[in-house]
A and B are shown apart, each in its own frame.
Chain A
Amino acid sequence: MADTTQLPNARAAWAKTQFDGSATRVALGGRWTLANSAILEAAMQSLDTQGAELLHIDLAAVDAIDTCGAWILHRQLRRWQERGAQIELVSTSDAQASLLERMGVADEERVPLLRQSGGALAELAIRAGMAATEVAGEAKALIAFVGATTVCALRAIRRPGRVRFVSTVHHIERIGIDALPILGLLAFLIGVVLAFQGADQLRAYGAEVFTINLLGVSILREIGVLITAIMVAGRTGSAFAAEIGTMKVNQEVDAMRTIGLDPMETLVLPRLLALAITLPLLVFFANTMALAGGAVMVMLGLDLSFEQFVEQLENAVQLNTLAVGLIKAPVFAVLIGIVSCYEGLKVSGSAESVGLHTTQSVVKSIFLVIVFDAAFSIFFSRIGL
């Protein structure tokens, strides 16, 4: 008989109760939309039905109702029903009724929408364990891949006709010739920096001329090959992983298999072969450029002639020094090739996976190059080279 609830901002959306005899009428009106969600929730909270058993819900004055409004109403109806009230909807349009009906399905399951976690500590342990098993699985898979590559390479030796020479030459051009400008500049500058820093330190002992010994030994033994390998891992390894990965995503690799082409033979072997041929040559080039950079710096900074530089260099290094550096190059080449092709072939499904494995290929090949370099150092010092 009387309004019991008047709401804030009643013009936007409202709900009020009226009592007439046996039934309680709940009249709703205004815009029952997402924009008014706060008003609607407050309205439903403050609505007092005085424990009525029969409720008539009247939607006649509702101008607009969307999912949010329907859900808030549905939630309230459910509360009343749980309390034992009987509900009757009056003056609902078909659209309103069908929208309200759809709300029911959302009640059934109460599965959490968020991921379950067992606390930070448990999470940490779980992730550490998962990472450990992943590393172990990864190592196993990589060793298996090395085996598969070896088998493929041995088969190629028995039947050299099957090696893709055109593809190999194409890769040699891309890995080698295209990399010359950037690698040359890089090596030259490193030579300059080494000579500058070396001369600076050795000057204190009056032994500047030994800068040339420092240059010769460090560049030929370590720096030249390391710089080249790291650059090739970044430049070529990533390209290999991305190329093969994209082919994986496009199902080109699957298509090859169905046609009877072996991806190991067509994709991996030419790349490996090209790398193994090109990397030693690139190392030699980088050595030359780095020594040239050092020579320029020494000649300018120490007032030595080019002849003096060459003479001192001859005293400092033997053929062994160069060989120690160069012998590592094919090993690093195979490392980079295997890791990047392996990562490329591991790509699955999405473009996202291509990016992930490309990054992985660079990180892993640089890591392995440095680990193997350290192992070589220990080995060479043991055998007295």
Chain B
Amino acid sequence: MTGSESDSVIRVRGLVTRFGTQTVHNGLDLDVRRGEILAIVGGSGTGKSVLLRTILGLKSPDGGSVELLGATLEALDEEARRPVLKRIGVLFQDGALFSARTVAQNARLPFLEHTDVDHRLVTQLIRVKLSMVGLPQSAGAKLPSELSGGMRKRAGLARAIALDPDILFLDEPTAGLDPIGAANFDSLIRDLQQALALTVVMVTHDVDTLCAIADRVAVLVDSKIIVGTLDEIRAHPHPWIQAYFDGPRGRAARTGLAVSAGRAVSEGI
């Protein structure tokens, strides 16, 4: 942790993204603070996943700059990127596990690539990670194709947190999970974030996830981004945001919160 990083682990300035003649991001600014859970939401085609890919250095910006942990990935070569990449973990939508390797081998890969930790200790740490993400140890010997979608996500998460990263990126972590599985996954992420002092950046469609675990919400509208706490965003007059939170799903998620708040009040009396 150096001084230059200060409290912003990710700093996006004036980002421009274009596909052909279509401008997806136009002068977008975003700061992600250390230790927070930031959820990025937005309608289809507003460039949520592209923003994530740009921050991760998988796509170079068409304008503006992106700093990840104080480094500009775009300006670095493969070798210079490694120390930065070692400090981030990414969970892709369907886990993106390497299909020819078992779950344990998938989780071992970051250790082989970035550390020279003793072989036995690595095996033990993989056991720890598997249990942390709620997978049975028997899943370690299985190939990704032998797992259900939810288990593949957990296995992907085990690989993402293998090296105890500073920042964890999640691309639609609850997509494709049933409501109970999604709620479990939400609390898993919250637990891990607290235990490992993670900064979490996630792209999500799920209003429930948003209400349950996000510290701040970033909404992509009009090629820009609006960031704030859940309450601030909810009070924002932008029509898309209003429609998002006032739609039937948004209302249901909010009612859930109101009910739990109401319970707290009645207990107070």
Contact = CB atoms under 8 A, between A and B. Distances in A.
Contact of A67 (B115, B118, B125, B137): B125
Interface stretch (B48-56, B69-77, B128-136, B237-245): B128-136
Interface in A91-113: 95, 98-99, 102-103, 105-106, 108-113
A41 interface: yes
A35 B104 CA distance: 21
A75 B124 CA distance: 10
A111 B126 CA distance: 12
Given A103-B128, A105-B131, A113-B126, A66 B141 contact: no
A41 B128 contact: no
A106 B131 contact: yes
A49 to B, nearest CB: 22
A109 B196 CA distance: 23
Contacts of A358: none
A105 to B, nearest CB: 4
B183 interface: no
Interface residues of A, number: 31
Nearest to B140: A113
A125 interface: no
Contacts, number: 83
Nearest to B116: A38
A378 B126 CA distance: 61
B6 to A, nearest CB: 18
A226 B22 CA distance: 51
Given A102-B132, A112-B141, A34 B194 contact: no
Given A37-B117, A98-B195, A111 B128 contact: no
A7 B194 CA distance: 31
Contact of B141 (A41, A99, A102, A113): A113
Interface in B134-165: 136-138, 140-141, 145, 161, 163-164
A51 interface: no
Contacts of B127: 106, 113
7 closest residue pairs by CB, A with B: A113-B140, A66-B164, A113-B104, A109-B137, A105-B131, A111-B137, A106-B131
